[in-house]
Amino acid sequence: MNHNLKDSYISFFIEKGHAKLDSASVIPVNDPTCLFNTAGMQPIVPFLLGEPHHLGKRLVNFQKCFRLTDLDSVGDKTHHTFFEMLGNWSLGDYFKKESITWSYEFLTEKLMIPIEKLAVTVFEGNEFVERDEESAQTWLSLGIPKERISYLPAEDNWWPSLDQTGPCGPDTEIFYWSDTENPAPPKHDPTDNRWVEIWNNVFMQYKRLENGEFVPLSQKNVDTGMGVERVTALLAGVDDNYKTDIWLPIIKKIEDISKKIYDDENYTKSIRIVADHMRAIVMIASDDAGIRPSNTDRGYILRRLIRRMVRYMNQLGVDISTDFETPIVDIIVRQFSSFYEEVHRNKEQVLVVIKEEKDKFAKTLEKGLGEIKKALSKLENGILPGDVAFKLYDTYGFPIELTEEVANEKNISVDLDGFREKVKEHQDKSRVGADKKFKGGLAESNPQTARLHTATHLLQAALKKILGNDISQKGSNITIDRLRFDFNFPRKLTSEEIQQVEDLVNVIVQQDLIITHETMNIENAYRSGAIGVFGESYGENVLVYNIGDFSKEICGGPHANSTRELGVFKILKEESISSGVRRIKAVTHSI
């Protein structure tokens, strides 16, 4: 189904005068703040902004994409790390009527989706920009009932946001009724999760000026996107993405190797994670960018995926010293070779990358699991001692999260307080202000909260770079487990924006920047570019913390000594807490 979907999509839009654009590398060329391309439009941003494209004004493609925001969610029915995005673009050529008409035609005539299963949303308008009646009237003319057309605010149907300067505009989103047991209701309810978004058509028709005025663009663009995995599952009538022909050959091979059954709920999650990660590993390692496992940036992501895959293969009872990966890689390469030539050409380098990293981790995994087994045999109270957890971390490179995961599977808890105490003993005793009272919303002072506090500096700086310099802190709170950061912004962040912020923080973390501070007069601090908390009462002299050239803040401490100490930064949640104020919850964990 997925091969037919991609072929049908490309053929359809070629018939409409589009030129096929090859998928770009997994590495963004036009966005140094992002580790991987997270959407189909990312590689063509310069052309959406007016640069002429050598293939013309109508483009279509499928793009290799990665989103790591939901890595910890992989293992359920719908989340993936690697996915493919279908897209077609008009660079100053056709606009709303043609885009909407062709989307409708493709869905109903090529994919044979009954109109009864479709609903749409359009921009409701506000005091700055009028209601998008053109899109609504086009949908009505195609036969979509008015009850199935929902007018929603800019938070839902505007790209990128109303307060960002530059090209922008309304979008119309297409929804599919996913419930296979009950017919779609006559009226579209945007809050009913059974309506699943399958396609988004963005109409870039305005430019927002610095003074807040919206003026028509001389070049109006169309930017669309549709996810292959989601649409394939919907068309197949299943609520589990892994039960489509995208995944079934991979899963069947994992079943053959492990002698475990996917439908046995004891093994379903592990098989999904292995299948997802193997596919992502092949696509990253086969890219001509030459990404290799390392402790920084993209290499760290590749290393993390391989090690997590190995861990779950081991959990399935597979001897990880064998070449179990080879037949799985063979299947994935066959699936993608006709679409991405580099996957076939670089197959051997994929196998080498996996084997080398697998063998390295196998030794760590074997020794670490041996230590846990030895410790478990001596337990009297069902708790793994903190010093054992620290030895696994310090000697064998076991992240505390992995130790917890292994122990919990055996119904053993971990003495996290004891572990943290051991970490604290080995920390640099010279950290400034670690034993003093300080500002910044920390509940307590220890090495972990110092790392999280440092992460809030990086997070605020990243938000300013991604969302605009008007971002400012509205509150924060840090515990031993997570950071919470509140900031001004008028809408929810898109998944792409969340990923860009997270990736940018991790790029800075891996640069191992030394964190310095100096005492300055408050006026000189502000003149030097330091930022503070609005409304905060500071004394005449303040501490200013610098993280390279990336962040400069007035703060009372404590902080890590260098960004590398933070390990990996992960955004857990982004939500609204009041009108115009958003909240991010995030964590850091050791590599």
Residues that constitute the known binding site? 453, 457, 555, 559
For the chain, report the end-to-end CA distance as a whole number of angstroms.
Answer: 38
Rounded Cα gap, residues 28 and 11, in angstroms: 26
Q: Which residue has the tokens 């093994």?
A: 267
Q: Which residues of 381-409 are buried (b: 16+ CB within 10 A; e: fewer)?
A: eeebbbebbbbbbeebbbbbebbbebbee
The residue with tokens 């949303």 is 121
- Beta-strand (E) ranges in 267-332? none
Query: If DSSP states are collapsed to H, E and C, what string results for 493-556?
Result: CCHHHHHHHHHHHHHHHHCCCEEEEEEEEHHHHHHCCCECCCCCCCCCEEEEEEECCCEEEECC
Which residues 6+ apart lie within 8 Å of 451 measured at CB?
560, 565, 566, 567, 588
**Alpha carbons 141 and 414: distance in angstroms, whole number:** 62
Q: Cα separation of 390 and 325, whole Å? A: 31
Annotated binding site for Zn(2+): 453, 457, 555, 559
CA atoms of 449 and 170, how far apart (whole Å): 41
Which residue type sits at 92? G
> Burial of 266 by CB count in 10 Å (0-12 exposed, 13-18 middle, 19+ buried)?
exposed
| Distance (Å, whole) CA 119 – CA 528 | 53
Identify the bridge partners of residue 149 per DSSP, sorted by sequence position.
Answer: 120
* Contacts of 196 by beta carbon, 8 Å cutoff, 6+ apart: 175, 176, 178, 230, 234
Report in angstroms the alpha-carbon separations of 295 from 83, 277, 406, 502, 511. Answer: 24, 18, 23, 17, 11
Q: How far apart are CA 545 and CA 557, in angstroms?
A: 8
Q: How many CB atoms lie within 10 A of CB 543?
A: 21
CA–chain centroid gap for 284, Å, is: 15
Give the contacts of 193 (CB within 8 A, at least 6 positions apart).
none
